[in-house]
Amino acid sequence: SNVANDKTQQMMVETSDFFPREVVTKNSGKMYKAKVGITVNQQIARNQAVHAPGASGQFSLLLQEILVAAKVIRDKVTLAGIAEVLGTTDEENVQGETVKVLDVLSNDIMKRRLLTSGLVCMVVSEEDEEPCYPKEKYAGGKYVVCVDPCDGSSNIACNVPVGTIFGIWERLSPSDGPANLQDALQPGRQMVCGGYILYGPSSMCVYSTKSGVYGFTYDPSIGEFILTHDDMKIPAKSKCYSVNEAYTNYWSDEIKGFVNWLKTEDKQDGRPYGGRYVGSLVSDFHRNLLYGGIYLYPKDKRSNSGKLRLLYECAPLSLIAEQAGGTGTNGEVNMLDIVPTNIHQREALFIGNTYDVNVAMDFLSGKRTN
Residue-level pLDDT at 192 = 96
CB within 8 A of 118, min separation 6: which ones? 134, 138, 140, 141
- Percent of the chain past pLDDT 90, that is, above it, reads 70
Region of poorest pLDDT, from 30-34, 163-167, 218-222? 30-34
Contacts of 211 (CB under 8 A, 6+ apart): 47, 50, 51, 323
Instruction: Work out the end-to-end distance of the chain between its first and last CA atoms, rounded to an integer number of angstroms.
Output: 42
107 vs 154, higher pLDDT: 107
**pLDDT-based confidence at residue 13 (cuts at 50, 70, 90):** very low
Residue 80: pLDDT band (50, 70, 90) is low
Q: Which long-range contacts (CB under 8 A, 24 or more apart) does 40-45 make?
A: 40/64, 40/67, 40/205, 40/216, 40/224, 40/225, 40/227, 42/227, 43/214, 43/216, 43/227, 44/209
* DSSP bridge pairs for 124: 146
- Over pLDDT 70: what percentage of the chain? 84
Lowest average pLDDT, out of 36-50, 101-115, 166-180, 214-228, goes to 36-50
Alpha carbons 327 and 357: distance in angstroms, whole number: 7
Q: Read off φ and ψ for residue 220, nearest 5 degrees.
A: -65, -20
**pLDDT, position 94:** 55
Distance CA 218, CA 71 (A): 9
**171, 183 in Cβ contact below 8 A?**
yes
Q: Which helix (H) or strand (E) holds 21?
A: strand 21-27
- DSSP single-letter state for residue 314: I
Q: What is the pLDDT of residue 11?
A: 43
pLDDT of residue 20: 52
In 3D space, the residue among 152, 90, 121 whose CA is nearest the CA of residue 287 turns out to be: 152
Q: How confident is the model at residue 96 (pLDDT cuts 50, 70, 90)?
A: low
**CA separation for the pair 208, 363 (Å, rounded):** 30
Backbone phi, then psi, for 240, in 5-degree steps? -150, 165
Average pLDDT of the chain, as a whole number: 87
Find out whether 186 and 169 touch, Cβ atoms under 8 Å.
Answer: yes
Quote the CA–CA distance of 277 and 242 in Å, as a whole number: 5
> Model confidence at 99, in pLDDT bands (50, 70, 90)?
low
Question: What is the pLDDT averaged over residues 95-99?
Answer: 55
What does the pLDDT read at residue 160? 81
Non-local CB neighbours of 282 within 8 Å, separated by 6+ positions? 151, 152, 161, 162, 163, 164, 165, 196, 198, 317
**Would you state the pLDDT for residue 202?**
92
Sign of CA dihedral 268, 279, 319, 67: negative
> For 51-75, what is the mean pLDDT?
89
The pLDDT of residue 7 is above 50: no
- pLDDT tier, 35 (very low <50, low <70, confident <90, very high otherwise): low
* Residue 53's pLDDT band (cuts 50, 70, 90): confident
What would the mean pLDDT of 322-332 be, rounded to a whole number?
Answer: 97
pLDDT higher than 90, residue 120:
yes
E strand or H helix that includes residue 362: helix 354-365
Q: If we measure between CA atoms, which residue out of 131, 132, 166 comes closest to residue 148?
A: 166
Q: Cis omega (within 30 of 0) on the bond before 20?
A: no
pLDDT of residue 100 exceeding 80 = no
Q: Average pLDDT of 40-47? A: 82
Whose CA is closest to 141, among 165, 167, 168? 168
Query: pTM here?
Result: 0.87
pLDDT at 203: 95
Average pLDDT for 29-50? 70
Give the residue-averaged pLDDT of 161-169. 96
Under the banding of pLDDT at 50, 70 and 90, the label for residue 125 is very high
Q: Are 148 and 110 in contact (CB under 8 A)?
A: no
Poorest-pLDDT segment among 159-163, 276-280, 303-307: 159-163
Give the mean model confidence (pLDDT) for residues 186-199: 97
Q: Could you tell me which residues are beta bridge partners of residue 46?
A: none
